[in-house]
Chain A
Amino acid sequence: MRKKIATILVLVSIMVVFTSAVSYALTVKDVAKEIKMVGCEMLVSVCRTDAANEMRNTIAGMVDKGMTKKEIITSFIEKYGEQVYAAPTKKGFNLIAWIMPFLAIIVGGGVIYYFARQWSAAYEFGTSNKTTEHLSKEEEEEYKEQLDEEFKKYL
């Protein structure tokens, strides 16, 4: 058990070390790939219309002003409505959108765990009365040789 915990700790620390201390300057693309171009059905980052070009220029201006990604997206939502953001906001009713998939997996995992335990118990109950035969070393080797022979025929 200790070994397992140690292994997990090592893995987690590797992940933390690898992912920490990395910071990036905000680019237009970072923002544009989260904003939907109204009427284009595509993201501002990839839409080829003139309006999308203007939108990218607007974002560039906001980035130059030092606004954060969150601030820029909020200002877009205020101006064009929630639909402009390419994902549901993480507040209010929209939280359901984010929570449900993981909740479903967690509940599903619980159901699997429940059944797996039941099935394991059923197996243990079924085998508790059975006796196991113990083989001597010679017998084991004999069987192994026989098995190898059978394998050769099969292969």
Chain B
Amino acid sequence: MAEVGSIALLISLVVTIYSIVAYILGLKQKNKRLLKSAENGVFANAILTTVASAALLYALVTSDFSIKYVAHYTNFALPLAYKISAFWAGNSGSLLLWYWVLSIYAAIIASSKKPEGAQMRPYASAVLMFISLFFALVLNFEASPFAQLGFTPQDGQGLNPMLQNVGMVIHPVTTYLGYVGFAVPFAFAMAALYLKKTGATWIKLTRRWTLIAWLFLSIGIVSGGQWAYVELGWGGYWAWDPVENASLLPWLTSTAFFHSVMIQERKGMLKIWNVLLIIITFALTLFGTFLTRSGILSSVHAFGESQIGLYFLIFMGVILAGSLNLFAIRRKSLESENEFESTLSKESSFLFNNLLLVGSAFAVFWGTIYPIISEAVRGVKVTVGPPFFNQVNVPIGILLVILTGICPLIAWRKSSWQNFRKNFLAPLVLSIIFAAGIYITMGVNEIYPLLALTSSFFVFLTIIMEFYRGVKARMKMTDEGLMTALFRLVSRNRRRYGGYIVHLAVVIMIIGITGSSAYKLEREVTVNQGEVIHFEEYDITYHGLKVQKDPNKDTVYANLSVKKNGKPYTTLRPAKQYFKTWEEPVTEVDFKSGIEEDLYIILAGWSDSGAQAILKVVINPLVSWLFFGINILIVGTLIAVWPDDRQRSIELLKEMHKDA
């Protein structure tokens, strides 16, 4: 199988180079046959990368330990699901996954038949193939997943136990799908720049790609947090680790991007800004990979130092230099008729939304690279961790939430103070009452949690009001029933109401983040067998240690029964697992999740053969809101991107009208 994979990758490199050359010549000579041939190269490349990926999968599943990668990341006892997920457990496998997805995306773009994209498509495809070339080179000459050991060991080393979690199946794949997805709007932006067609066409063509990439990245980030929460056993989900930050950076800039492109679509403004944002977003996806692979910053995510980090840095430099050079050459084509009818308008609120999102991205970027700056300038190593990021980003985040409430309700073009008051007075007054309520009854008396919860409530109210007004107007106009009106309101204004649902998801997640970060309670206790731990409203009885054996590992777990407010609530089994292929024991937490809070218990250690155990008990308020919120975010985004034939025909009519 190694030969099949290696040969497929080698041919893929040749085909990629051929496609790029054919595109360049075909476009230069306006040679349709050559362009068609280049396009076929894109399809062939997708097939070749699929063959290479299938070869690696086959080798992993059949435990072909003659392949270094397979021997390094799997063993016979590893369950099938993790043998499959070992595909992206290491450097070369994850790069192959990236390359595979990219080649499929390129093939989808090349096969598109949308007439409005016909002119840009070959240019965008050429850019995508150029990006592919980088991966083909790295996979062939630096990090081949098919490198052979020269002998076949009896068993493999096995997968890091931390990676043996369902999070391993979801988090890396979705994150990569997000990262790779941003290559498409980037490629179209370059095509639009080259062709001097920097109007809204490239944005319309890539809107869905951007949103889907953003959705995958959102799922990737949250599932990564959930994985850390379940697997790492420290009771948290976000540590402001450089690699976590690296995934947040393109998320923030892409969020800014798909907000600001709305202004370009409507008013033809901000062309320069939008092109810059997508260049930055794509470069940041490479920056993330550079950070993970270079070992330049200390991180819990380290993939091991290798040359790949350097290659990514060089490639990022090439991408930035090339795209910014093109940007500078085409600067004139980006000039737009910028007119603002009022400073109090949706346009201006979008500008502030962009300022805060990009400002927040800059803060995260700056904090992440500051240790390097400090070492270079002062020769002193410093740490930039949660205290810095929380102090800097929380106020920006709260302002962003408030803006999330204000922005959708301000009219396009020109809003008036009367209109502003009409829309906001009620939510504002209710929010102040809410703040007073949670301050008095729930003891929320720290400024940031109070502001975060109140502003979330404010956004929630404004969204509800928007739905209420829309449904009411429909019911009045069409005599529809409540549910029909609600359904049609959403289904006929998918972008708008999909967006509101995403905003709703974001505030739900912010409530989760606020509760779990500001009001987390924890206690470490040493407990004897039969003894009860009283912690808040919980009574936790320790019944002793038990051992469970399976082919892959031995699990030692503490048997706990839990009562809540005196009533039986649940049983929990926090454990330590001893994997046959891993020296260090792995902590396996157990928790009971609820709407109000999670009861989360870690088995820290034991003595006297389990007669005594050391347990860390954590109460994480509202954390399930964060993990639940992502489901609503998925629903909202899908509504916003779902194809709408009605909308398409309206746009077609508009185009016809323009032509007439």
- Report A's interface with B, CB cutoff 8 A: 11, 14-15, 18-19, 22, 29, 33-34, 36, 41-43, 46-48, 81-89, 93-94, 97-98, 100-102, 104-105, 108-109, 112, 115-120, 122-123, 126, 148, 151-152, 155
Contact = CB atoms under 8 A, between A and B. Distances in A.
A interface majority secondary structure: helix
Contacts of A116: 340, 343, 348, 351
Interface stretch (B29-37, B186-194, B361-369): B361-369
Contact of B382 (A88, A108, A117): A88
A57 to B, nearest CB: 11
B339 A148 contact: no
A108 B492 CA distance: 36
B656 interface: no
Contacts of A33: 386-387
Contact of A86 (B337, B339, B340, B385): B385
A108 B352 CA distance: 9
B388 A86 contact: yes
A97 B363 CA distance: 9
A108 B338 contact: no
Interface residues of B, number: 62
B391 A48 contact: no
B358 A108 contact: yes
Contacts, number: 148
A34 B241 contact: no
A56 B291 CA distance: 31
Most chain B beta-carbon neighbours within 10 Å: one of A101, A112, A115 = A101
Contact of A155 (B387, B492, B602): B492
Contact of A118 (B338, B384, B474): B338
Given A22-B446, A46-B236, A123-B341, A86 B362 contact: no
B338 A41 contact: no
A88 B366 contact: no
A112 B355 contact: yes
A87 B384 contact: yes
Interface stretch (B112-120, B281-289, B370-378, B636-644): B370-378
B239 interface: yes
B488 A120 contact: no
A155 B381 contact: no
Given A104-B359, A104-B363, 18 more contacts: A18-B447, A19-B447, A33-B387, A42-B234, A48-B602, A48-B604, A82-B383, A83-B381, A86-B386, A87-B387, A94-B374, A104-B362, A105-B356, A108-B358, A112-B355, A116-B348, A117-B343, A119-B269
Contacts of B367: 97, 101
Contacts of A19: 445-447, 450
B345 to A, nearest CB: 9
A43 B445 contact: no
Given A85-B383, A118-B338, A108 B435 contact: no
Nearest to A82: B382
Given A86-B383, A87-B388, A14 B359 contact: no
A14 B339 contact: no
B371 to A, nearest CB: 9
B442 interface: no
A105 B241 contact: no
Given A29-B522, A41-B299, A88 B341 contact: no
Most chain A beta-carbon neighbours within 10 Å: one of B299, B339, B451, B477 = B339
A120 B387 CA distance: 41
B382 A155 contact: no
Listed from nearest, the 3 A-B pairs whose CB atoms lie closest are A86-B385, A101-B363, A119-B340
Nearest to A89: B382
A98 B236 contact: no
Contacts of A88: 370, 374, 382, 384, 388
